[in-house]
Amino acid sequence: MNEVSLKKALSSLNIGGLRYFDSIGSTNDEALAWAASGAADFSLVIADEQTRGRGRLNRKWFTPPGSALAASLILRPNPAIHARPSRVVGLAALALAETCRTFNLNPRIKWPNDILVNGKKIAGILVETVWSGAEIDSLVIGMGINIYKASVPPADLLQFPASSLEDEINTLPPREEILRRVFENFVHWRAKIGADEFISAWENLLAFRGEQVQIHSAAETISGKLLGLDLDGSLRLLGENRQPAVIHFGDVSLRPSA
């Protein structure tokens, strides 16, 4: 993978710009700085290796060289995204899940930001915002996808089991081709982000739907049956006392109840 092969693979998409790195700290950090200095809509930062890849809550994201995809996409919000910016994590999740489906896999979205295949995490999403006063200037959508087996971190670094595309399917296309599929799906769903169909497609892919789950945050743990999504992408649960509960995005993690 290099800048030339990426530009060629992505040539049918209307990308705003591309910065490719053999090695970088974090593609999201580079994209946040580029967005703040005026990057065009749909500009991409892609790296072969990340040395300081980030998850949420300053957790680490493992991206060893030659094994994974680490990409950050800069979005300039349109009116539909300004109206419901919290749907953007769903946009990335749908694009990644539908890419897995092109390999005949049966992906699930572990709300809010993980893609599971056969119950194991294969990709993660980190959405960050560049503000202009109280307005969103741009969104940076970081996506890490485990392609080859070497991308899967050792089990002692994980709170949740992980896998790679290579572990799940027989024949893998080049990484550039996988990225092209991700961004094609992204373009498809971005055009529908304001529609009800968007929420139902996202909801239909949720992991643990209809099952008992626990939502952990620093402040509390909430248990309930996972029902689906609200219009802003918040998670709807039926609490143990049969009271409905709505979980907003934030630093929460979802686990199936033991």
Binding-site ranges for ligand BT5 (CB under 6 A): 26-28, 50, 53-57, 59-62, 70-72, 113-114, 121, 124-126, 142-144, 146, 151, 153, 157-159, 162
- Report how far residue 213's alpha carbon sits from residue 238's, in angstroms, rounded to the nearest whole number: 10
Closer residue to ligand BT5 in complex, CB, 129/238:
129
CB of 76 to ligand BT5, least distance (A): 19
Nearer CB in complex with ligand BT5: 16/55: 55
Q: Is residue 112 reached through a cis peptide bond, with omega within 30 degrees of 0 on the bond before it?
A: yes
Supply the minimum distance, in Å, between the C-beta of residue 67 and ligand BT5.
9
Nearer to ligand BT5, 66 or 244 (CB): 66
CB closer to ligand BT5, 58 vs 243: 58
Q: 117 - beta bridge partners?
A: 120
CB 130, min distance to ligand BT5, A: 15
CA contacts within 13 A on the Cβ side of 233:
27
Q: What are the structure tokens assigned to 17, written together? A: 């710009």
Q: In terms of DSSP bridges, do strands 17-24 and 43-50 run parallel, antiparallel, or are they unpaired?
A: parallel
> Smallest distance, Å, CB 158 to ligand BT5?
5
Taken in order 254, 229, 103, 13, the sign of the CA dihedral is: negative
How many CA atoms, within 13 angstroms, populate the side-chain half-sphere of residue 30? 23
Task: Indicate the residue whose CB is closest to ligand BT5.
Answer: 124
